[in-house]
Amino acid sequence: MYRGILATIVVIGSLLVTASFAYIVNPGPVVNATVGGVWPRPKYLRSTDNYFLIDPKNFSILPVENTCDILDKAITRYIKIIQSTVHSPIYYPHVVHNGSGTNVTPAQILSSLKVNLTSPCEQKPHLKMDEWYFLSTSGTIISHSIWGVLRALETFSQLVTPYENQMLRVTETHIRDEPRFPHRGLLVDTSRHYISKDILFRILDGMAYNKLNVFHWHIVDDHSFPYVSKKFPELSAKGAFRPEMIYTQKDVADVIEYARIRGIRVIPEFDVPGHTRSWGVSHPEVLTQCEGSYQGLMGPMNPIKDVTYQFIDELFREVQEVFPDQYIHVGGDEVGFECWNSSTEIVDYMKKNNISSFSFLQKNFMEKVTRSVTALDNIPIVWQEAMVENVDMPPGTIVQVWTGDWRVLLFMFTKAGHRALMSECWYLDHLENGGDWKKYYNCEPLDFIGSEEQKKLILGGEACMWAEVVSDRNILQRIFPRSSAAAERLWSPQHTRNFVEAQQRLEEHVCRMNLRGIPAQPANGPGIC
Amino acid sequence: MYRGILATIVVIGSLLVTASFAYIVNPGPVVNATVGGVWPRPKYLRSTDNYFLIDPKNFSILPVENTCDILDKAITRYIKIIQSTVHSPIYYPHVVHNGSGTNVTPAQILSSLKVNLTSPCEQKPHLKMDEWYFLSTSGTIISHSIWGVLRALETFSQLVTPYENQMLRVTETHIRDEPRFPHRGLLVDTSRHYISKDILFRILDGMAYNKLNVFHWHIVDDHSFPYVSKKFPELSAKGAFRPEMIYTQKDVADVIEYARIRGIRVIPEFDVPGHTRSWGVSHPEVLTQCEGSYQGLMGPMNPIKDVTYQFIDELFREVQEVFPDQYIHVGGDEVGFECWNSSTEIVDYMKKNNISSFSFLQKNFMEKVTRSVTALDNIPIVWQEAMVENVDMPPGTIVQVWTGDWRVLLFMFTKAGHRALMSECWYLDHLENGGDWKKYYNCEPLDFIGSEEQKKLILGGEACMWAEVVSDRNILQRIFPRSSAAAERLWSPQHTRNFVEAQQRLEEHVCRMNLRGIPAQPANGPGIC
C-alpha cells in the first residue's frame, strides 16, 4: 500500500537479490544496487574488465613520501573499513571471476596501496584546501595535499567489494577527481535538541563517507545554550536544557579534532540578534525588554545599547580562539520586530537617528557585528536577511540563502560581489513521503541567471538539519542518505544528472553506510539493506 | 528556521527546564511535559495532593491470589522499569515535598503493590479479553483477568517519577480503567524490508507501553517471503531477500510468546491474490502467467485453477496451527487486473461462467479463500477491496478500511452487519513536517453516520507501518510516538480530545519510551529528551 511514489523509481530485475527473481506487472522489484559504485561520483573514472583481489588480512596502505598524523590515522581507519567490507551484502555474482569474458585476465593480488603525497601535510582544513587526487586501483594514490589523499582513500574503500572466501575484489579503475565546489556543508542544530558528542562523531563519519567538508555547528539558539564559554560560563550554566546537556571546551576541541583529521572544517554559528533567548537567561541586559502588550517579555538583542556590542565582541573573541577556522557564522536571520517596536527607547533612538525602518536597525546591528569579526582577521558568514537591506557588507562576507526565491537572491548577492552558499533546496527537516532525496539531488546551485563571474562566487552549499523534531534517536537517519544527494550535487561535475544511475549507486551507498555504523534510512523503497 | 508549524503548539513557560527560563515573543519555549502523566489516558482517574515515596531497592509487586507465568514475568519486567525511573529527566520540582501546601500530609513509604487477580490466568490474549482494572497507588491492583493486571502494571509504572536521593515518588491516585475498543493494533510489514527479531521485540515492548494489543504481522508480500513454512520451505528458500533474512518456526514462536506475555495478540497476514510475487519465485504455478504486452511476467494468483486454492488451503492450514489467534488476515487489497485481462484462459473462463467483471472474479476468489479459513474454525480479516463487491462475506469476517472515504465505507460495511477496523487515518508511512501526531490523534473511528448498532461493530483500528522506506534503522523512530496517538484514541474515552493536555502527556511519554530503550522521535518540537 502507498506505492504510488515508488512506481516511478522502480528498476526492473535484480541480479543481486536472486537471479531467478520473478518480475511481474505490479509492482516492480527492488531497485538494483551498483557494486563498487562511488558516491559522490568522481569527475573522471575509467574501468576495465580486469580486477584485483585483496586479502584483507594482508593488505596495507603505505605512505611513500610525506606523511603525518592525519595520514597515519586515516590509514588505520580505512584498513578497518576495508576489512569490514567482507560483510557487505553487495557483491558481484561470482560467475564473473571465471574469466569467461574475452577481455578478462587472471586476477592479481593487490597487497598494498601506495600513497604519494607530494607536499607536506597542512595542519587544518580550510576553504581553499586542495582536494584533487589521482587513484589507480592497481595500487597508487597521488595527491598534492593531505586533503586529496583523504578523499582518495574514501573512494578506494568504496570501490572494494566482497569476493569469495573472505577475499575482496576491486575492479581495475583509474580516477582523477576533485570537487566542483569548495564548501560542501552540513548544518547541525544542537540547541533545539541536544545532540550528544558520540552522535556528532558519527555525523562526522557520515560526512567523510560523502566527502562533505564543512560542519556548520549551529551550536546555540533560543531554546538552549549548550556551549560552555570560558569567559561567560553562566551562559550554559543557566541557559542549557540540563546540566549535562552541554559542550565543554574539551568536547568542542574533540569535535574539531575529529573533524580535522577527516578533512572537515568546523564553522561555529552564534546567531544574533534574534534566536538568542537562551542568552537572556543569564544576560537579560543584552536582550530587548519588551513593553506594551509584550511587557515582561524579552525580544531580540537590544541594538541601541553598547553593552550588547561589548558582550558580543568579548564572546566572539573567545569563539574565534576556540574554533580555528577563519570563518564564523553570525546569523542574522528571522529577527522579529514586534518587541523592538514596543520599546520606547528603541523607537525614540530611531527617530533621533533618522533610522526609518527596523530592517535598517538590523542592518546597522549586523554591520557592527561583522566589523568586530573582521577586525580579528576572521570572515563572517550571514543568513540572507542580514544582507537584503545591506549588500554593502564587509568585503569577503559570505551570505547563505535559505528561503524564498533563491535564484533571485543568488543573482542579487553575487551581482553585488558577495560570495554565497545555497541551502534553500536542502532543508532536511522538510519531510515528504517515500525516499525524498530526488528533490535534493535535482537542485543545481548554478541554475540562476548571472555572469560567469557571478557563478564563480557560489562557493557551494549546505544541507541543514534543524533539530525541532530530531534528537539523538533519529538525527542520523534523517541526515543520511538525504544529505548524500546534496553532497553529490556539490562534488560531482554539473552534468552528473542521470537519476536512475544515481539511484542505483545510492542504493549501494546506503548499504555501505549501514555497514559502517551509520543508520542511514532506505533511499528508494523496498530493499535488502 | 522552519518553525511555522511549531508556533501553533508551543506552550508558554517551562518549570521543568528551569524556573528562571526567559519567555520572549518569538518563538516560545519548549512544550511542558507532565510529570507522571499516563498514556493512554485512563477512563477514570482521581488524584489527591498526597503522595508516596518508593525505595526502588525495597519495593515489590506481590500477587495475593492467583498468579501464573505471565504475571511472574510481568513483575520482573516492571520492577526493572520502576527501578530505572530514577534516571528519568522528568520530575517534580523538589519544593513540593516540603509540605507547604495545606492538604499535603507527610509522605508515606510504599513498599509493595499487591495484585488481586480474581480469576485464574487465561493462557493467551484474544479479541474478547477483559482489560479492566482498578489501581490505587496506595498499593492495590484489582482485576478479573491477567490482561487487566498487565495494563494496570503499565499504568502504575507510568505514575512513578524520580524524587531525591534515588527515591521515587507516586501521587496518591485511584484509577478505574478499561479500553474503549477491543482491537488496538499495529501493522508491521516485514516484506519490503526485513525487520530483525530483536527489533520486532522492541516494537512489542513499545506496544505494551502504549497498551496496544494486536500485532498485525504483514509477514510476506511481493518483495520477499521471509516466513519459513514447514510444508513449503522453498517459499522462503527462494523468495526471501537473503538466506538469513527469514523468520524460522522458532523465530515466529518467539515473537508470539514475547507478545503473549505482554497481552498482545499476533495476527498473521498472508495477502492474496495480489501482493504475491515472492510466492511465485518457488511456485509460479499459482500466479497468473500474463500474455500480450505483459508476456513473460507473472501477475496476481490465478483465480481459475484448482491448484491455487489447494496451495492456499494447505499453507493456511499450517498458518492456523502456527499462529494461535483465532483470526487470520487474508488480504485482498490492490489486485491489479491488467494481467488477468491479458490471460486468454481467464477471459474465456469469465465468458463461459458469466462473470461480468474482474471485481467479481476477485470476489469469487476471496469467497473461496475465506471459506477455507472459516472451515477450520478461524475467522478471516480482509482489506476493504475484498468486500466492496461482496458485503455478503462469511458472517464474522472483519473488514479493514485503509483508503478512500472511510466514513462511507464504515457505514456501508457495518450496515451490512460486518465488523470493521479503522486504518485509513493511521498510515505511518505518510510523512509530514514537524511532529505529525496531531492528525492521528484527531481521527475518531466512530465519527460516521450510523446507528448505535452499527457503531458497536467497530472493533477498533490499527496504525500501519508499511516498510517501503523503513528498515531496522528507522522503524522504531517512525512508529513511536506517532502510533501512540492512535493508541490513545482507541483506548481512552471518546471525549479525550484536549490537544494541549495530550501534548504535554505525550512529551513525557516520549521521554519515558526513550528511557525504556525505545528510540521514539520527538513529538512536539524542541525539547529536553
**pLDDT tens column, B442-495:** 999 999 999 999 999 999 999 999 999 999 999 999 999 999 999 999 999 999
Work out the pLDDT band at B93, boundaries 50, 70, 90.
low
Task: Please tell me which residue of chain A has the smallest CA distance to B223.
Answer: A29
Region B309-331: mean pLDDT is: 97
Q: Which member of B1, B21, B277 has the closest CB to residue A334?
A: B1
Where does B332-393 show beta strands of DSSP type E?
Answer: 379-383
Work out the pLDDT band at B107, boundaries 50, 70, 90.
confident
User: CA of B420: how far to CAs of A199, B213, B413, B414, in Å?
Assistant: 44, 16, 7, 7
Is residue A66 within 8 A of residue A119, CB to CB? The reply is yes
Identify the helix (H) or strand (E) that includes residue B309.
Answer: helix B306-322
Mean predicted lDDT score pLDDT of chain B: 91
How is residue A514 written as a grid cell?
549501514
Q: So what's the pLDDT on residue A29?
A: 59
Cα of A175 to nearest chain B Cα, Å = 33
Residue B424: pLDDT over 80: yes
Closest CA to A9 of A430, A515, A428, A441: A441
Alpha carbon A466 to its chain centroid, in Å, reads 13
Q: So what's the pLDDT on residue B106?
A: 64
Is residue B267 within 8 A of residue B459, CB to CB? The reply is no
Is residue A192 within 8 A of residue A465, CB to CB? The reply is no
Question: What three-state secondary structure class fits B151?
Answer: helix
Q: What interface predicted TM-score (ipTM) does this complex get? A: 0.92
Residue B160: pLDDT over 90: yes
Q: Which member of B21, B192, B402 has the closest CB to residue A526?
A: B192
Residue A12: pLDDT over 50: no
Q: So what's the pLDDT on residue B13?
A: 30
Work out the pLDDT band at A9, boundaries 50, 70, 90.
very low
Alpha carbon B477 to its chain centroid, in Å, reads 14
Do A429 and B429 make contact, defined as CB atoms within 8 angstroms?
Answer: no
**Range scoring the smallest mean pLDDT among A334-348, B6-20, B21-35, B326-340:** B6-20
Closest CA to B29 of A297, A286, A243, A271: A297
Residue B2: pLDDT over 60: no
Cα of A119 to nearest chain B Cα, Å = 41
Q: So what's the pLDDT on residue B328?
A: 98
Q: So what's the pLDDT on residue B29?
A: 59
Chosen from B191, B469, B476, B513 to mutate, greatest number of chain A CBs within 10 A: B469
Residue A99: pLDDT over 60: no
Closest CA to A81 of A152, A158, A147, A174: A158
Domains and CATH numbers, chain A: 44-177 (3.30.379.10), 226-248+274-396 (3.20.20.80)
Q: Which member of A30, A281, A464 has the closest CB to residue B22?
A: A281
**Long-range pairs for B303-307: beta carbons < 8 A, 24 or more residues apart:** B303/B273, B303/B340, B303/B346, B303/B361, B303/B362, B303/B364, B303/B365, B304/B345, B304/B346, B304/B349
Do A2 and B433 make contact, defined as CB atoms within 8 angstroms?
Answer: no
Region A304-315: mean pLDDT is: 97
How is residue B198 written as a grid cell?
530483536
Q: Which member of B2, B432, B519 has the closest CB to residue A474?
A: B519
Closest CA to A503 of A519, A527, A468: A527
Q: So what's the pLDDT on residue A7?
A: 26
Pairing of strands B379-383, B398-401: parallel
Closest CA to A127 of A102, A108, A156, A147: A147
Is residue A170 within 8 A of residue A161, CB to CB? The reply is yes
A6 vs B: CB within 8 A: yes
Phi-psi map region of B323: left, alpha, beta (phi>0 left; psi -120 to 50 alpha): beta
Task: Please tell me which residue of chain B has the smallest CA distance to A31.
Answer: B223
Residue B148: pLDDT over 60: yes
Task: Please tell me which residue of chain A has the smallest CA distance to B283.
Answer: A22
Where does A131-209 show beta strands of DSSP type E?
Answer: 133-136, 140-143, 161-162, 168-177, 183-189
B195 vs A: CB within 8 A: no
Do A22 and B429 make contact, defined as CB atoms within 8 angstroms?
Answer: no
Residues of chain B neighbouring A334 (CB-CB closer than 8 A) = 1, 26
Is residue A271 within 8 A of residue A332, CB to CB? The reply is yes
B328 vs A: CB within 8 A: no
Closest CA to B277 of B242, B238, B323: B238
Is pLDDT larger for residue A104 or for residue A89?
A89
Closest CA to B192 of A521, A32, A526, A2: A526
Closest CA to B528 of B37, B19, B32, B7: B32
Chosen from B383, B427, B471, B507 to mutate, greatest number of chain A CBs within 10 A: B471
Residues of B designated as active site: 334
How is residue A204 written as a grid cell?
562526522
**What does the radius of gyration of chain B's CA atoms come to, in whole angstroms?**
25
Q: Which member of B22, B274, B281 has the closest CB to residue A20?
A: B281
Do A17 and B241 make contact, defined as CB atoms within 8 angstroms?
Answer: yes
A402 vs B: CB within 8 A: yes
Chosen from A473, A480, A518 to mutate, greatest number of chain B CBs within 10 A: A473
Please give the Cα distance from A262 to B123 (Å, whole number): 57
Do A298 and B24 make contact, defined as CB atoms within 8 angstroms?
Answer: yes
Query: Tens digit of pLDDT for each residue in A207-226?
Result: 999 999 999 999 999 999 99
How is residue B276 written as a grid cell?
504475491
Chain B, 228-287: which have a CB under 8 Å from a chain A CB?
A: 238, 241-242, 245, 274, 277-278, 280-281, 284, 287
Residues of A designated as active site: 334
B314 vs A: CB within 8 A: no
Q: Which member of B194, B430, B527 has the closest CB to residue A2?
A: B430
**Alpha helix (H) residue ranges in B45-145:** 69-84
Closest CA to A267 of A144, A45, A42, A421: A421
Closest CA to A261 of A82, A446, A403, A68: A68
Do B280 and A18 make contact, defined as CB atoms within 8 angstroms?
Answer: no
Chain position carrying cell 534528537: A471
Query: Tens digit of pLDDT for each residue in A183-198?
Result: 999 999 999 999 999 9
B20 vs A: CB within 8 A: yes
Question: What three-state secondary structure class fits A450?
Answer: coil
Residues of chain B neighbouring A470 (CB-CB closer than 8 A) = 521-522
Query: Tens digit of pLDDT for each residue in B20-60?
Result: 222 222 234 578 899 999 999 999 999 999 999 999 999 99
Do A470 and B522 make contact, defined as CB atoms within 8 angstroms?
Answer: yes
Cα of B245 to nearest chain A Cα, Å = 9
Closest CA to A172 of A181, A188, A160: A160
Residue A65: how many other CB atoms lie within 10 Å: 12
Chain A, 203-232: which have a CB under 8 Å from a chain B CB?
A: 222-224
Query: Tens digit of pLDDT for each residue in A30-69?
Result: 788 999 999 999 999 999 999 999 999 999 999 998 999 9
Closest CA to A472 of A227, A196, A69, A129: A196
